[in-house]
Amino acid sequence: MSAFDYQGYELLSGLVPRDAVQKLRDDLSELTLGKYKGGLRNAEKKYPLIREIAQSAELQRLAESYLTGIASVVRVILFDKTPDNNWRVSWHQDRTVTLSDKVELENWGPWSRKDGVYHVQPPIEVLDNMVSLRLHLDPADQRSGCLRVLPASHNAGLLSAEQIQEYAESHPAEECIADTGDVLVMRPHLVHASSKAKAPSARRIIHIEYSGYQLPAGLNWA
């Protein structure tokens, strides 16, 4: 078992060149999220540069190095913490995927619909063949509310809210301090959280989820 397979995450420093990051920052310079809204779902559908980097050969190859099969983009979210949107997220697992249609599949559920897109919790084997790449457009540290993770927690499977809390109380957390252009790679069901920023300015992250899981015929990632 590799260190990543056991820990469930790793930080790749300086993976995306500064000039490429600056183009994204410039493209997003006028973005204003609604108050109390910390993220923009389906960001690749609204920003061509985000779609371009999410579908780039470089990131696809990177994702495939953590997956079995060909990497497909499942979901893209732009996160930002600002003085108007300074939010915290308690310990949790990312345990849903987005699909083009609602189809009854064994062991898939429950279903929901957000921003016109179907969300569903898949079986654990689907999540085990997924990876999230978090591209930092700004530095992230304790003052800006960086991500905190519970190493190896994904190996415990899908946990209830009570089990997650118990796990968090009995295992040490790690802070994912990152610089501009760094990419944090993680399994979606690694237990993670983030605190409010102590000095909020901007903490923009492009969160891209990839899967190597082969969906049934006629069904696509949304």
Q: What is the pLDDT of residues 60-117, one digit of tens each?
A: 999 999 999 999 999 999 998 877 777 789 999 999 999 999 998 999 999 999 888 9
Percent of the chain with pLDDT over 70: 96
Residues 6+ away with beta carbon under 8 Å from 156 = 163, 167
DSSP 181: T
Backbone angles phi, psi at 74, to 5 degrees: -95, -45
The tokens for 7 are: 């820990």
Interatomic CA distance for residues 53 and 16, integer angstroms? 10
185-198 tens-digit pLDDT: 999 999 999 998 88
Residue range 145-153: average pLDDT?
97
**Cβ 158 vs Cβ 107: under 8 Å:** no
pLDDT range class, residue 169, cuts 50, 70, 90? very high
Three-class DSSP category at 74:
strand
pLDDT of residue 35: 54
pLDDT tens-place string over residues 175-187:
999 999 999 999 9
pTM confidence score: 0.95
Please give the CATH superfamily to which domain 3-211 belongs: q2cbj1_9rhob like domain (2.60.120.620)
- pLDDT, residue 210, reads 99
Mean pLDDT over 156-174 rounds to: 98
How many Å from the N-terminal Cα to the C-terminal Cα in the chain? Answer: 32
What's phi and psi for 119, nearest 5 deg?
-120, 140
Tens digits of residue pLDDT in 24-55? 999 988 776 655 467 889 999 999 999 999 99
Residue 131 clears pLDDT 80, i.e. is over it: yes
Q: What is the pLDDT of residue 37?
A: 62
pLDDT, position 200: 67
Q: Residues 85, 37: contact at Cβ < 8 Å? A: yes
**Arithmetic mean of pLDDT, 210-217:** 94
Residues 6+ apart with CB under 8 A from 56: none
What burial letters (b/e) apply to 138-175, b meaning 16+ CB within 10 Å?
bbbbeebbbbbbbbebbebeebeeeebeeebeeeeeee
The average confidence (pLDDT) of the chain is 93
Q: How far apart are CA 119 and CA 201, in angstroms?
A: 31
| Per-residue pLDDT at 177 | 98
pLDDT of 143 > 70? The answer is yes
Whether 205 has a pLDDT exceeding 70, the answer reads: yes
Cβ–Cβ < 8 Å for 138, 203 = yes
Residue 118: pLDDT over 60: yes
Look at residue 33 in the predicted model and tell me its pLDDT: 65
Tell me, what's the pLDDT at 217? 84
The one-letter amino acid at 182: D
